[in-house]
């Protein structure tokens, strides 16, 4: 049995997780669709900027920081909601999220390094513009894989989380099933990209329903919270 105070805390952290989902989904949308974070073509690159829009690139780094802040908040919130349901699984999901954050943060650090390299005027004395551009391109090539392979750990964590939500009927089961499918796709895509050298770029479209899920379930959790069993016992059904 859990007390009324503990139930209220579960509701609070469920809503916080919902807010966090909205936060990192919106931040990801802004970074990927509203900001131009590309490197300039070498033919148009300038000594003082190697990016198409340096301010957009800087804002992209800020969006990444907000995304990972949201992931940390959501991960801890889900753990606090689910630890009374199945503490070992809740801890496993939290640890997987931690690995995701560590690997994904490497991508953010690489972005910061790219910005730093492009603004070091003394490097222009050591390298010509073409060489400096190539160095930053090489650095950029490590960033995307860091994000994509962090999705594997995110996927397993998400499956565990929404499996427990499914068992407890915390939210409509359709949401939980959609969540497990969504996070399964986050495992399949990077593994497929690793194993298939020429994986079509269109394969990434399989991830789009997942973005809708995270935004939708975030709104649901923030506005509706979770449904806690009337007897107050957070024990999953058989």
| 150 within 8 A of 103, measured Cβ to Cβ | yes
- 49 bridge partner residues: 46
pLDDT given at position 200 = 79
Instruction: Cite the beta strand spans of 184-231 per DSSP E.
Output: none
Lowest mean pLDDT across 56-70, 165-179, 205-219: 205-219
The torsion region of residue 24 among left (phi > 0), alpha (psi -120 to 50) and beta comes to alpha
Q: Mean pLDDT: which of 108-117, 150-159, 192-201 is highest?
A: 150-159
User: Which residues fall within 8 angstroms of residue 215, CB to CB, at 6 or more apart?
Assistant: 21, 22, 25, 26
Lowest mean pLDDT across 1-15, 63-77, 159-173: 1-15
The whole-angstrom separation of Cα 16 and Cα 11 is: 9
Torsion angles phi and psi, residue 42, rounded to 5: -60, -30
Q: Which DSSP state fits 9?
A: H
Q: How many Cα atoms occupy the beta-carbon half-sphere of 176 within 13 Å?
A: 15
Lowest mean pLDDT across 23-32, 58-67, 182-191, 193-202: 193-202
Mean pLDDT of 152-174: 96
Q: Which residue has the higher pLDDT, 226 or 46?
A: 226
Q: Is the pLDDT of residue 163 over 70?
A: yes
The whole-angstrom separation of Cα 140 and Cα 231 is: 53
- Please name the residue that has the structure tokens 């198409």: 52
Mean pLDDT of 145-160: 94
Q: CA 220, 221, 222, 226 torsion: positive or negative?
A: positive
3-state secondary structure of 46: strand
> How confident is the model over 16-59, as pLDDT tens digits?
999 999 999 999 999 988 998 887 765 555 555 677 788 999 99
User: Which residues fall within 8 angstroms of residue 187, CB to CB, at 6 or more apart?
Assistant: 151, 152, 155, 156
In SS3 terms, 97-163 reads as: HHHHHHHHHHHHHHHHHHHHHHCCHHHHHHCCHHHHHHHHHHHHHHHHHHHHHHHHHHHHHHHHHHH
The whole-angstrom separation of Cα 94 and Cα 78 is: 8
pLDDT given at position 121 = 61
Q: CA 104, 107, 111, 117 torsion: positive or negative?
A: positive
What is the overall mean pLDDT for the chain?
Answer: 87
């Amino acid at each position: 049995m859990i007390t009324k105070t503990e139930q209220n805390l579960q509701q609070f952290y469920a809503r916080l997780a919902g807010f966090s989902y909205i936060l990192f989904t919106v931040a990801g949308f802004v970074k990927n669709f509203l900001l131009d974070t590309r490197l300039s073509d070498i033919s148009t690159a300038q000594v003082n900027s190697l990016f198409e829009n340096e301010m957009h690139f800087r804002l992209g780094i800020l969006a990444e920081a907000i995304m990972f802040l949201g992931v940390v908040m959501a991960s801890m919130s889900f753990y606090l909601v689910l630890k009374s349901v199945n503490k070992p699984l809740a801890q496993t999901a939290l640890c997987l999220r931690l690995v995701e954050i560590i690997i994904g943060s490497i991508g953010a650090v690489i972005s910061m390094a790219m910005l730093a390299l492009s603004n070091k005027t003394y490097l222009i004395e050591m390298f010509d513009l073409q060489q400096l551009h190539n160095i930053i391109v090489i650095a950029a090539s490590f960033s995307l894989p860091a994000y994509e392979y962090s999705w594997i750990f995110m996927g397993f964590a998400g499956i565990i989380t929404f499996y427990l939500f499914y068992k407890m009927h915390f939210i409509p089961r359709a949401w939980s099933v959609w969540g497990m499918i969504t996070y399964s796709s986050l495992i399949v895509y990077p593994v497929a990209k690793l194993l298939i050298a020429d994986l079509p770029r269109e394969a990434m479209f399989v991830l789009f329903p997942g973005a809708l899920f995270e935004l939708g379930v975030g709104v649901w959790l923030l506005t509706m919270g979770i449904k806690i069993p009337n007897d107050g016992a957070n024990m999953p059904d058989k």
